[in-house]
Chain A
């Protein structure tokens, strides 16, 4: 079994092997002998940010249509084949990616992987299925309209991203989807479901040479990319003040306060590559520009310090001591072009202003005073253990690799605990200062109608 040593200066061995195949498809493989199952997780850089504004919702709708078959596979036939063998399969779409995964008994992979590849590469998107499945997507959209947390979060990201596709709903809208045609979806599919956009992660009871052979044979017949309208990115107006909005919702039993700050995107800015290219050196070499991945790890630590667990700053003060919120949480979500740091509180409407002011004050404190050693160690251990706790099964491991490889690089998935351990209080203070201004953020408050 491969392992990672705990010292940040020691050699880091990758338990997984990344390979670029002749057609530029990426394969990440990890052999776990004797575990009995194998997970395949295919990550495609074909998320909602690829859509032009009028095509909003296309990436997600396409994810539904992938399962509607090809010239060789009838709609639903793939699902039956996987589930009938006792396996499971599903898919998900986000802004930066769509991914498709299945977990099944290791010996069944040889027979089933070619079918998953066929679905992904040769999606037929039949006209009548397009119309029928669109109704299902509408139902998915209606369901979100009955969720106050979803509506509030959507309003929040619209406040953060006024031009960028990150501000649009991934599901799109009924009006826009009604204007789209199966042929437009086929052009989107052909354009983005290409080998250079795709990473196949195979983790489980399968040897490497067999995995390579199987993936090479299955993922070979890509369609010509053709033409598809491309999103023209406009400059996003910088956040220069507090952008606050209020949302009134029916059937609301408790108010929400959501606040968001923009973090680094993994694509930008240009990174200074260190000479030996060893990823763990990332944190030791002086650099001209802030490293986005390092800053992202720092924001994870700040998020844990603020609101992960009863002893975290905001939970302890606002839930336990002052008893102003019934729940408060914080999150950092890594994205390719701009990440998002959020605080969410559930509280009584009359306490909204006071709680927002207290949170801003605690952010100022984060910038002006260094976090003490024991508090920092607590956050580090929480994150490192969370990482260990989420790598028990092939499907968890495959998801982790695919996610980090798509957004950043595979090394981040492996070296993450080491990088977290290497942080100093001063570095965190600088990161808080860089991103978490109490004067520049977006906020949404929801109140009952």
Chain B
């Protein structure tokens, strides 16, 4: 029971920094006639002020809708006429442009991406259209019980921190955003020394770098340095001796299922390996609890007790204090026992050591899925570009696997006892049921 998946090509990743500060990563993979690229800028929701929440998202929607030479339709025609894909996205910790093409079309698409990043015009009419659609999307989120419950949980946990809000922003902030805000945000963050370009597919490192030089080489670094942006730290850990406490928010909605969500503030990913022991241990516990048909929550709460169809956990990797969340959807009558069930599982990890078999199984699972998550060119470009953007470097790929393998039952328990102390609870369901379970 110890074999894990090892992908054969121990691929070499070629790393270059251009004169203007752009970091280029190239992973040559000739197996399919495809090239994928991910262009990362350190400019996601984390860099938004509270009043401007949703700014990065709106910018991502308008970025592809006009440059000094091309209209929105021109841009779409260039992409779609060759069947390529080009997308933009704003995540918590980064802003992303994604490309995928057949190999021969790659140079053309990267040059288009360069034009979008270097000379966007944010046409007024397009800003207006995308703002209206964003406001609609914010309202539509209210249709999804899970999204509503998570939104409330996040606000409870994060307060004034940018991670408190969804990337779309709020109706209030988005209705106030202007073209000028987009331009100011663009001027601050969109510069070559803030850009990582990660490329994977049927392309040589030399060929890829030549194409990047051609499109991006003469992009000048602005004279003024990129302003520092430090968020006040949000403490996630407490001492092991503290008794568990909880804070709760309830949302009354007339749904068929109740949503029960239990979250904890959790460690960020630190570049320094001495300070990321808890991060690694909690990644492993996340797998143990929530990943797959044999995970602890699935077996205990679904298979043995039939309480849910969907029950899982997530612990996203973040630059700042992250969150470790477990959740399930359950019949309204089961709301209270579902919450007790989740709570009992989390408290158990603070006191009980995993058995050797549980620990080994969780490691095999985490490392196996990690390997399976690096199969396509897009996945490869994404993961290495992201590590570079987080300033961990591509070496983190190996370090992560080694550090996971080194987790012991005691380091896992100790991380759990620090993390799973102050519980944040979000319940969503019919009013009558929730009133029976006051906070």
Contact = CB atoms under 8 A, between A and B. Distances in A.
Interface of A: 34-37, 67, 75-76, 79-90, 103-105, 107-108, 132-140, 142-143, 145-148, 250-254, 309-312, 316, 320, 323, 326, 346, 374, 377-378, 380-386, 388-389, 391-393
A252 B84 CA distance: 35
A320 B72 contact: yes
A134 B372 CA distance: 32
A137 B306 CA distance: 9
Contact of A251 (B6, B254, B303, B331): B254
Given A36-B8, A37-B372, A79 B143 contact: no
Nearest to A390: B376
Given A105-B4, A320-B72, 19 more contacts: A35-B31, A37-B372, A67-B293, A79-B293, A80-B294, A83-B291, A84-B360, A85-B1, A86-B368, A88-B292, A89-B293, A108-B3, A142-B329, A309-B80, A311-B76, A312-B80, A326-B136, A326-B137, A346-B136
A346 B129 CA distance: 15
A140 B133 CA distance: 31
A103 B129 CA distance: 44
Nearest to A380: B83
B73 A316 contact: yes
A107 B369 CA distance: 16
Interface string B7-34: 1110000000000000000000001111
B129 A323 contact: yes
B297 to A, nearest CB: 13
A108 B372 CA distance: 15
B329 A87 contact: no
A365 B76 CA distance: 23
A251 B429 CA distance: 13
A87 B368 contact: yes
| Residue from A86, A87, A393 whose CB has the most chain B CB atoms within 10 Å | A86
A392 B34 CA distance: 9
A384 B4 CA distance: 35
Given A142-B256, A388-B34, A136 B308 contact: yes
Given A253-B142, A378-B80, A36 B6 contact: yes
A86 B299 contact: no
A254 B84 CA distance: 31
Nearest to B6: A36
B255 interface: yes
Interface of B: 1, 3-9, 31-34, 72-73, 76-77, 79-85, 100-102, 129, 132-133, 136-137, 139-140, 142-145, 253-257, 291-295, 299, 302-304, 306-310, 329-331, 360-361, 364-365, 367-369, 371-372, 375-377
Among B3, B304, B360, the one with the most A-chain Cβ atoms within 10 Å of its Cβ is: B3
Contacts of B254: 250-251
Contacts of A103: 372
B32 A83 contact: no
Contact of B4 (A34, A85, A310): A85
Give the 8 A-B residue pairs with the shortest CB-CB distance, closest first.
A86-B368, A381-B83, A135-B306, A385-B83, A310-B76, A79-B293, A139-B309, A140-B309
B331 A84 contact: no
A326 B133 contact: yes
A250 B101 CA distance: 43
Nearest to B133: A326
A34 B10 CA distance: 11
B81 A374 contact: yes
Contacts of A104: 5, 368
A113 B360 CA distance: 22
A138 B73 CA distance: 47
A83 B288 CA distance: 11
A408 B371 CA distance: 33
Contacts of A140: 309
Contacts of B375: 37, 392-393
